[in-house]
Amino acid sequence: MALIKSVRGFTPQIGNDCFLAENATIVGDTVIGDGCSIWFNAVLRGDVNSIRIGNHVNIQDGAVLHTLYQKSTITIGDYVSVGHNVTIHGADVHDYALIGMGSTLLDGAEVGEGAIVAAGALVLKGTKIGPYEIWGGVPAKFIKKADPAQTAEINRKIAHNYAMYASWYKE
């Protein structure tokens, strides 16, 4: 069972039909929707401010989600994929976005619906990524506008695949 820890009077709330890896850590003011998967060594630290995660989100191995005390929060929409070793610090990610492996989103960043943040990207404080845009690099810059149908297909496939992977651990 994952480490689920209350702090400052907040106890994490976990939705129905979620997979929580045994060594995932979920702390404090963290609310996770239905059908989510929180993978090995992921840390969701809602100790200093709130973390809100929608439905059918996958937070992959080694990801760290944290905020600034009394300043920033994290909101993640539905069907979002957060890649391995991603750091999200006080940012908002909209539905069906894909956050590539090893990328970092800093306070006040916003990732639009269906957008893709490339692996290893550094999204600086306050950066606004529009819907169906692809950003990458250090610091992250706009690469191109993606075809919404193509992006939706890729992002949805990954999100739905992670639901399947999580089901393997319930057997």
pLDDT in tens, 82-119: 999 999 999 999 999 999 999 999 999 999 999 999 99
**pLDDT > 90? residue 1:** no
**pLDDT > 70? residue 48:** yes
Polymer length in residues for the chain: 171
**pLDDT > 80? residue 157:** yes
**pLDDT > 70? residue 135:** yes
**pLDDT > 80? residue 37:** yes
Residues 6+ apart with CB under 8 A from 171: none
pLDDT score at 18: 96
CATH number for the domain spanning 149: value is 2.160.10.10
Domain extent for 63: 3-168
Residues 6+ apart with CB under 8 A from 116: 97, 98, 100, 133, 134, 135, 146, 151, 154, 155
- Whole-number average pLDDT of the chain: 96
Total Cβ atoms within 10 A of residue 143: 14
pLDDT score at 110: 98
Domains: count for the chain: 1
**pLDDT > 80? residue 171:** no
What number is the average pLDDT over the span 39-56? 97
Q: Which letter does DSSP use for residue 64 in this model?
A: E
Q: Is the peptide bond before 139 cis (omega within 30 degrees of 0)?
A: yes
Give φ, ψ of 148 to 5 degrees: -55, -40
* Pairing relationship of beta strands 64-66 and 43-53 according to DSSP bridges: parallel
Interior angle at CA 119, CA 94 and CA 127, nearest 5: 45
Q: Name the token pair of 168.
A: 């393997």
96-100 long-range contacts, CB within 8 A, separation 24+: 96/152, 96/155, 96/156, 96/159, 97/155, 98/154, 98/155, 98/158, 100/136
> Which of these ranges, 30-39, 58-67, 130-139, 145-154, has the smallest mean pLDDT?
145-154
Partnered with residue 46 across adjacent β-strands are 28
CB 100 within 8 A of CB 117: yes
Chain centroid to Cα 84, Å, comes to: 10
pLDDT score at 151: 85
